Chains A and B, each alone.
Chain A
Amino acid sequence: MGALAEILFGGLFQGSLYAMMAVGLALVWTTIGVFNFSHGVFMMLGAYLAWQLVAFGLHPAIAFPLAILATAGVGWLLQATVVRPLIGRANLVLVVVITTLAAGSLIENGVLTIWGPRSKQLPPLLAGNTMIGSIGVSLHQIAIIVVTPLILWALWMFLTRTRIGLALRAVAQNEDASQLVGLNVTALYGLAFAIAAALACIAGIFMGGYRFMSPVMGADPLLKALIVVVFGGISSISGPIFAAYLIGFFEAACSYYFGLYWTPALLFAVLILTLMVRPEGIFTSRGRGLA
């Protein structure tokens, strides 16, 4: 019973973080057809911006939304500078991997210069701990588990029920036809990047609330998000959400039975097996489309 509870809780918690990161990556892939390798850096930057605003004395309820907006702005800016000018190039996917990596490393070093290497921590969403059965958990973790599905649900509703959401889904499917109905494709690209950055910032705030922050804190979540989208398929956003939780549970089970040490190796073994059976999962543009 204790094992099940621990795996369930750990899986839900990790899955939430992964889903939050992976959905942004998938959103950018489906709308623009590029991989944003600065996605992890958005997460880190978001956490630092939130930390700075809290350090200025703002209440987290004000500081966090402001940080999310600011990170969204950075996402928009990055898109306008290192992605948009390259659209139309034959080897776009590869070029953008390089430009976003470069921009990401620039931001990473900027953060290091401004805030220094000393570890920082954000206030948790909810302070305190509680017991679930026999396991001790923090209220912050419970808040993450509850809030994440709400945010993903809101994103889903935005994409499927609103006019702008419809436009985003249309651009994801056919850019020329989107222009021919009068959509502002550049603005929609910017919006996709901004939303992805906002989601990454939320993930950063989640993470900064239970772990020490550092300028490289985004690297591992980016890697995990990539694994998630490879598992889940990148042609929609529901696939990665599903895969994020699946991987969360897989990791929780592995850590419980084999130990933390073996988990990454086992995860990669499963990843490689998946790709052998379903090779179309990775880096192919076999149709894009949101929702």
Chain B
Amino acid sequence: MPILSVEGVTAGYGRVTVLNDVSLEAGRHGNVGFFGPNGHGKTTLLRVISGLLKPRSGRIFFDGEDITARSARAIVGTGLIHVPQGNRLFPDLTIADCMALGAYSARARPHEAENREKVIELFPKLAERWRQRVRTLSGGERQMVSIGTALMSHPRLLILDEPTLGLAPKIKDELCASVLDISKGGVPLIVVEQDIEFLLELSSQLYLINHGTVATEIKPGESIAHSEIMSMYFGH
């Protein structure tokens, strides 16, 4: 049984339809990558999965349970954790506050101390700035806070929306390494990324999201060349 399956989801904002009959699956082992042009619905898909946006039709199963109608809060309670795109998390809270918030749900609270240690081990920089407000941190540090907050929520499946967006190459490499570390720690990931190299390194399964549908699926085992992906991006 896949840990997450999306079945025929159609969703949008107001009268605009963004996602059109999207179906996909994420296995229990190995990570899943989404890629595709800007504005074609990757973030929207993640928002539907985490309950921020209700789909017009279709269903979403997490670990065999239908979570389509559940609130975002209830979904957090099942261990499906979404790190949103951008890093404007809680600008006026300190890192310490954010970590406490990450552990807010009843499910995560008992693991607060243990998860905090993991976060600090993964991002030692955060410990140095523990009482600093998020708005005063660098872009890379803020992304660390976002991911750290999600780890505090004790994820069973972690969704990252463009974690390296807008970061300088050196910081970006550091962050990619951290994401790989998280994956090695046993939490399956769903990652949206523009950086195909990183996505290929990280995931065993890729989906190209184009015009609000799954244009191509690359299954585990199917090796794929970078040039082929590029041609998918830009059309044949």
Contact = CB atoms under 8 A, between A and B. Distances in A.
B92 A167 contact: no
Task: State the majority secondary structure of interface residues on A.
Answer: helix
Interface in B74-98: 76-77, 81-84, 88-93, 97
B104 interface: yes
Contacts of B101: 166-167, 170, 178, 181, 183
Contacts of B91: 173-174, 287, 289
B100 interface: yes
A24 to B, nearest CB: 20
Given A180-B76, A181-B76, A182-B76, A166 B100 contact: yes
B52 A167 contact: no
Contacts of B77: 182
A183 B100 CA distance: 12
Contact of A170 (B52, B72, B82, B90): B90
Contacts of B51: 179
Contact of B72 (A163, A173, A179): A179
B219 to A, nearest CB: 29
Contacts of B52: 176, 179-180
B153 interface: yes
Interface string A182-204: 11110000000000000000000
Contacts of B71: 179
Interface in A276-291: 287, 289
A184 B83 CA distance: 18
B79 to A, nearest CB: 10
A180 B97 contact: no
Contacts of B212: none
How big is the B interface, by class? 20 to 34
Contacts of A167: 101, 104
A289 B93 CA distance: 9
A172 to B, nearest CB: 8
| B88, B90, B149, most chain A CB atoms within 10 A | B90
Contacts of A166: 93, 97, 100-101
Contacts of B104: 163, 167, 181-183
B149 A181 contact: yes
Contact of A177 (B73, B84, B97, B105): B84
Contacts of B93: 166, 169-170, 173
B10 interface: no
Contacts of A287: 91-92
Interface string B125-139: 000000000000000
B91 to A, nearest CB: 6
Given A166-B101, A167-B101, A176-B52, A182 B90 contact: no
Contacts of A176: 52, 84
A182 B81 CA distance: 9
A59 to B, nearest CB: 40
Contacts of A170: 90, 93, 97, 101
Would you list the 4 A-B pairs with minimal beta carbon distance, nearest first?
A182-B76, A182-B105, A179-B72, A289-B92
Given A174-B91, A181-B101, 9 more contacts: A166-B97, A166-B101, A173-B92, A174-B89, A177-B90, A179-B51, A180-B76, A181-B105, A183-B104
22 contacts: A166-B97, A166-B100, A166-B101, A169-B97, A173-B93, A174-B88, A174-B89, A174-B91, A176-B52, A178-B101, A179-B52, A180-B50, A180-B52, A181-B101, A181-B104, A181-B105, A182-B72, A182-B73, A182-B105, A183-B73, A183-B104, A287-B91
